[in-house]
Every structure is written in structure tokens, then in C-alpha cells.
Amino acid sequence: MRRTAAAALAAVLLLPLAACANDAATSHNGAAPAGKKVDGPTVKIMVGGLDKVIYLPAMLTQRLGYFADAGVNVELLSEPAGVNATTALLAGDVQGAVGFYDHTIDLQAKGKSVESVVQFSQAPGEVEVVSAEQADAIKSGADFKGRKLGVTSIGSSTDFLTKYLAVKNGVDVSEFSPIAVGAGQTFIAALQQGSIDAGMTTDPTVANILSKQLGTVLYDMRTPEGSRAALGGLYPSSSLYMNTSWVDGNKDTVQKLADAFVKTLKWMNTHTPEEIAAQMPADYAQGGAAEYAAAIKATLPMFTTDGVMPADGPKTVLAVLAAFHPDVRGKESDIDLARTYTTEFVTKAAG
């Protein structure tokens, strides 16, 4: 009964925040193949879509054997929606979640203490794509007025970022229609059928859309430069975040996880997209090996090389959420950003 109650409470808490874009095929739900067993602690980590390029370090670390090298057994679980990953974390079903950093800020506003312990990225990895038919009509967020804009789900990070881009360009959130179209093939179908005029998604879906000439890029937030241009600064997104109480009580295990992930981030920085793609499960390449490598290449600039939170990144995320998020707007001074992340473990891992 306690488990059920906890899960229900977590679900209520997360209704306004389904952060993490849903760009993974649902066929990857459930547990990933286990890595080599070692004499060490076991940790369950829920990922908001294992085959999303923005969350690539999770599976790559397992495939490279770095969890085992660090002395920790990791069971990777996958849900197509990041909100489910965070719900599982709050309910105690898993010890860690891989998803967007913005969860930590939203949850602090709700009285929960969750922190990023390894920051995978310094940019959202998101792309606003305009359908080929509307490419001449939608040139910026100012043209969102009266439009149907695709998001993975209402309350998701794609929803948040879309609303911010609209408000930033003078369009009220009530003046356009966010349409929940999921991800992957459902997103592509909505674009093709005219159910949406534009929408926000990530790779490998972006690469698939561009290769089929179904749309054009309006905002590209896969790079630090793209993040600064669209959002006013670096926007840390994908990360490993955990309940602060669990981190404080299991520092040796958290250090092992940080050691493994930082090792992976450094490996990614010294290998080609093709070499990275070759390490991943073959069925992650939805549009073929070449297209998948191209998707990784386009998204690679978003990743940090050391797992450290960008200095001004949290301020940007807070400013974006405060522009429209009902649980954050007007409460910025109450948010202690220093409690939403830690560099303790990645600093030791880098040493």
C-alpha cells in the first residue's frame, strides 16, 4: 500500500512536468540487456527513452563496459516518457533517472529534493521543425500565433520550450495550439498529414525528417550556440539525477556511477560519430547506419566532456521555466539552484 501511495503521489507531483522529449521508439521499453556482473552494488536507472540520441551516454556506458570497470552493476530501464522516469524515481522503484535537468527545479518548487549528479549535456538537443508546406509562413516564434505546434505531450520539455519560444517572440501561450503527437513515427505522421504545422523533437527523428524532406529546421538547439541563440544561454538538459537523500547515503556508489559516466563522456569526445554508432544496438539506427551516425554527429556538440554543470546553465533553465511555468513563475527567489545539482562526484572522477 505504501508503494502504491508513493507512486500515486509521484504521479500527481509530475503532472505539470513531463520533462524530457519523447523521441524513443516504444519497442525499447523495459530492461536493457544486463552488462557484465561484478562484485559491487546494484543500481536501477530509468531512462526517458534509451534510444534517444540525447540520452546516448546511458546505453553507451553499459556497452563499453564502464559500469563494470567502476565496480557497479547497473540495470537500465526505459520508458518513452521522461515523466515516467521521474515518477519511478520519486516512488523509489529506481535509484536514478536519466532525463532533463529541469525536473530538479520543478520538484524543488514542490518541496522535493532531487539533484543532477552527472550533467551529460549543455544544450537541450531539441529542434523545432517546420513542415515543408509551412516553411515559407513560419520563420520565427512570432509566427506561432494561430498555429498547431507538435509536442511530445502536454507538460513535456518540448511543450515548455515551445511556450518559451512563443512568449519570447511576443506570442501568448493562449494564441497557439500545442498538439500532443508523441515521437518518432507518430510525430512524422502528424507532420506529413498536416495535423501540425511545426513541432519540436530530437534525433534520430530529426535526421529522418530531413532525409525525407518533410520539413525544415527553424530552431536548432543541439549545440551550445543554438541554445544561446534560442534560449539566451546554455540550457543543461540530459543528466543523471537522483534523490538527494539517496545520494547522501550512498556516496561510494554514486562515485562509481560518476566515474563510469565521465569516462564515457571523455570517450565520446575522442571518437567519431561512426565509432559511437557502432557501439550502440543496431536497432537504434531507425533510418540506417549512415543516417544514425549523422544524427549523432549533429547532436554531439550538446554533450559535456566532463559531466560538470555549466556555470550559468541553471540560471537559464530557471529563467525559461519562470516565463510561464505556474509552479515556478514568481517563485524564482525561493529556488536554491545550488541544491539542484552537485559537482562533487564528477570533479573527483575527472581528477
| pLDDT, tens digit only, all 351 positions of the chain | 444 444 444 444 444 444 444 443 333 344 555 567 899 999 999 998 888 899 999 999 999 999 999 999 999 999 866 667 888 999 999 999 999 999 899 899 999 999 999 999 999 999 999 999 999 999 999 999 999 999 988 878 888 899 999 999 999 999 999 999 987 889 999 999 999 999 999 999 999 999 999 999 999 999 999 999 999 999 999 999 999 999 999 999 999 999 999 999 999 999 999 999 999 999 999 789 999 999 999 999 999 999 999 999 999 999 999 999 888 989 899 999 999 999 999 999 965
Helices (runs of H) and strands (runs of E) counted in the chain: 15, 11
Dihedral sign for Cα 145, 150, 155, 158, please: negative
- Where among 195, 222, 249 does a domain terminate? 222
Whether residues 243 and 107 fall in one domain: yes
Q: What is the pLDDT of residue 270?
A: 97
Rounded (10°) CA dihedral 168, 170, 171, 173: 50
Q: What is the pLDDT of residue 155?
A: 76
Q: What is the pLDDT of residue 188?
A: 95
Residue 164 in any domain: the answer is yes
Q: What is the pLDDT of residue 326?
A: 86
Q: Domain with 336 in it: what CATH number?
A: 3.40.190.10
Domain that residue 104 falls in: 2-123+235-350
Whether residues 257 and 300 fall in one domain: yes
Q: What is the pLDDT of residue 2?
A: 46
Whether residues 134 and 100 fall in one domain: no
DSSP letters spanning 290-339: HHHHHHHHHHGGGB-SS-PPPTTHHHHHHHHHHTT-TTTTT-GGG--GGG
Residue 227 in any domain: the answer is no
The number of residues in the chain equals 351
Dihedral sign for Cα 80, 81, 86, 88, please: negative
- Other beta carbons within 10 Å of 270: 8
Q: What is the pLDDT of residue 34?
A: 59
Q: What is the pLDDT of residue 83?
A: 64
Q: What is the pLDDT of residue 18?
A: 41
Q: Give the pairing of strands 42-47 and 73-78.
A: parallel
Structurally, how many domains does the chain consist of? Answer: 2
Whether residues 306 and 287 fall in one domain: yes
Helix (H) or strand (E) holding 52: none
